[in-house]
Amino acid sequence: MLKEAGETPALCRNCIARKLAIQVFPSRKMSIETVYPQQVEYQASFVLETQRIPDAYHFLLKDGKLFSPVTGLPAEKSITRRDSLEEAEYQAFLQIQDWFVQNEAGLVVWINPSFPNRYGCAKAIISEIVSTTSLEKALVNRAVCFDWDEETCLAFARSLGLSRVNSGWELRTNPVFLDKGASEGVIGLIAKHSPSQAQLIISGQDFIIKERMMAEIASGYLPPSGDYLSSCGSALKIFTENSSQVGWEYNEGTCRICGKETSVGPCKICRVCERIL
């Protein structure tokens, strides 16, 4: 990455970052968030998933749509619809967006099983409608990864009251909409499978960990990946917000996944491994 002399890495000429003061509510406490470049957001999300730390982020409401503070655009604008899987997930995203627009409170859980050559692990995205101190409506999200097979995903969905689904495909296209008071019960169910991730959500530490990690990445430090698979891939990435890939530059380097000397993106992952992950 080329920089001007004396320029800080977080604000280098090649970055598309802009600083926005956005009030959000991690654990109902206000913080001022810095919005980093998409490459930084993607790298942080990837590392968090491989370390099995919830990936926390948020959307705002603007012109009747979920609005991404990372891209500065409606979230749906960054969704690709290249095949039946991505189209199914796009329709599920629209369900969540419509629910968000129509309600002032509530919780939704979107469960996505792993998928061959696309998603390395299962993911549950837990989203809650909140209000900021400036009375803006926001959707606070946590993407939580699990090493679940399809049956475990279905069992988790049924424990939330979604009894009509019988396959991973149906589960992927049917978000579970719940009342505002369901948050404690959902976290309790997560705790049975991953106590450490549940505790991070309860304490709000997941927000703090991600903010610190993005600051480190923006300053030039590349945090090590964990021992687990990432879920990154296809259209689901945009609802995970920070995994969207727009206008990446590829340069010669060593892929951090396969170790080959080849063209790699800003996260040091080659095109082949991106498709697998």
How much is the pLDDT for 267?
A: 59
Give the closest residue to 241 by CA, choosing from 26, 61, 117, 55: 55
How much is the pLDDT for 232?
A: 61
Give the closest residue to 57 by CA, choosing from 267, 230, 210, 232: 210
How many Cβ atoms from other residues are within 10 Å of residue 105's Cβ?
11
How much is the pLDDT for 270?
A: 75
Any idea where the domains of the chain sit in the sequence?
9-246, 250-277
Question: Which regions of the chain are under pLDDT 50?
Answer: 1-32, 233-247, 277
How much is the pLDDT for 206?
A: 92
How much is the pLDDT for 249?
A: 63
Q: What is the pTM of this model?
A: 0.73
How much is the pLDDT for 3?
A: 24
How much is the pLDDT for 157?
A: 95
